[in-house]
Amino acid sequence: MSLKVEGLRKEFGEQVAVKDFSFEVKKGQVFGCLGRNGAGKSTTIKMILGLVNPTAGSITWNGEPIRNSGVKIGYLPEERGLYTKSKVSTQLTYFGKLEGMSTKEVEVAMDKWLARLEIPEYKHKQVSDLSKGNQQKIQLIASLLHDPELVILDEPFSGLDPVNANLFSEVIREEIACGKTVILSSHQMNLVESFCDEVCLLKKGESVVQGSLKDIKAGYEFKNLILDASEGLISQLKQMEIEFVEDKHELGIKIRSEQEGVMILNQLLEAGISLPQFKLMQPTLQEIFVERVG
């Protein structure tokens, strides 16, 4: 089972929102769609959902056009899409029934999810009475209630405190473990990094970096050499005219290769600088994002 997007393009008049975008997400995989605001992430998601018609390209699920495939999709929109004046239970029942569930099935699934997200007491509350974070939880339940095969999460962590963000992460991990195919769009790179097998960085509708996260990082030009900060080290690096970033007790140096790192370490040791520990790290997704998209 897989979602395949080929040559996807969307034009709004003369403006091209998405330029010939292709990717494939297999069952149980997570595809991270990243980019700045207006990069074309939401338009791509809306095309997958059938909310916006593509100008060109195809979207298939198991080889069939997604609209005819009958795939169950769970969608969590970037902005909350709930009937604020309705009760949580009424609304979830409505969404569940539209996905073909019986009232009993909805009731069982609703209770399970409300308990999982630690908000069973809000079942009969009006949505507008709930906090932003709890509304986001209801939104997540609405997108997972019917046990979808394809889960599309557009900025799932927005408006969440760190505790709830962790809870969301756990739930998403559980869904991935259940074999769900997930498309994730977020600005929180650390979370994306922890979930995604494949990522894509979009810039002005175009994919600028795409592939497995491991390959992207391995093949990336820069690496980070991390050293414990000390006054002697700082003055020595300045003397050697090596650029570095100071972050509390650590210093980060961007290097092009492992050899360059070893060479710097040798030079520092020769200069009599004490190096209690050092780390050679791959670049973070955040760094790649800022470098390529920022």
Partner 1 sequence: MKKFMICFLFHFKESVLTKTALIMAGVSFVGTIALIGGVNWWNSSRDDTEIVIFQNSEIYTLDSSLLEIEGVSFSFKPIEDLELAKEDLDAGEIDNIFVIEGTDMPIITSIYYDTNHFESELLISQLIGQQYLARVMAANDVSADVAEQLMRPIGVVHESLLDQEEMMIGSMISYIFGFALYMLLIICGQSIATSVVTEKSSRVMEVMISKINPLYMMFAKIISVLAVILTNVLSLVAAVVVCHFIGWINLSALLEGMLEVLEFPVIALGFTFVILGYFLYGLLFAAAGAMCSKVEDLQSVITPLTMAIIIPFIMNSFLPSHSPILAISSYIPFFSPFVTFDRFATGIAAPLEVGIVLTIMLVSIIILGKLAARIYVNGVMHYSDSVKLKDIKKLLQR
Interface with partner 1 (CB under 8 A), residue from 1, 16, 49, 71: 49
Q: Does 56 bind partner 1 (CB under 8 A)?
A: no
Q: Which is nearer to partner 1, 49 or 293 (CB)?
A: 49
Contact region with partner 1 (CB under 8 A), list: 74-82, 184-192, 255-263, 264-272 = 74-82
Q: Are 227 and 278 spatial neighbours (Cβ–Cβ below 8 Å)? A: yes
Output the CA torsion sign for 162, 168, 172, 177: positive
Residue 141 C-beta: closest distance to partner 1, Å: 12
CA 201 to chain centre: 11
CA quadruple 11, 16, 21, 25: dihedral, nearest 10: -70
Q: Does 109 bind partner 1 (CB under 8 A)?
A: no
Residues 6 or more apart from 110 whose CB is under 8 A from it? Answer: 89, 92, 93, 96, 123, 141, 145
d(CA 66, CA 71): 7
- Total of chain residues touching partner 1, rule CB under 8 A: 25
Interface with partner 1 (CB under 8 A), residue from 85, 104, 124, 248: 85
Burial of 93-117, coded b for 16+ CB within 10 Å and e otherwise, reads bebbeebebeeebbeebbeebbebb
Residue 154 C-beta: closest distance to partner 1, Å: 9
CB atoms within 10 A of CB 226: 16
Interface with partner 1 (CB under 8 A), residue from 97, 116, 254, 292: 97
Residues 6 or more apart from 173 whose CB is under 8 A from it? Answer: 195
Q: Does 129 bind partner 1 (CB under 8 A)?
A: no
Q: Does 81 bind partner 1 (CB under 8 A)?
A: yes
Q: Does 75 bind partner 1 (CB under 8 A)?
A: yes
Contacts of partner 1 in 168-227 (CB under 8 A): none
Interface with partner 1 (CB under 8 A), residue from 35, 77, 205, 252: 77
Summarize as ranges the residues that interact with partner 1 (CB under 8 A).
Answer: 46, 49-53, 73, 75, 77, 79-86, 90, 94-95, 97-99, 142-143
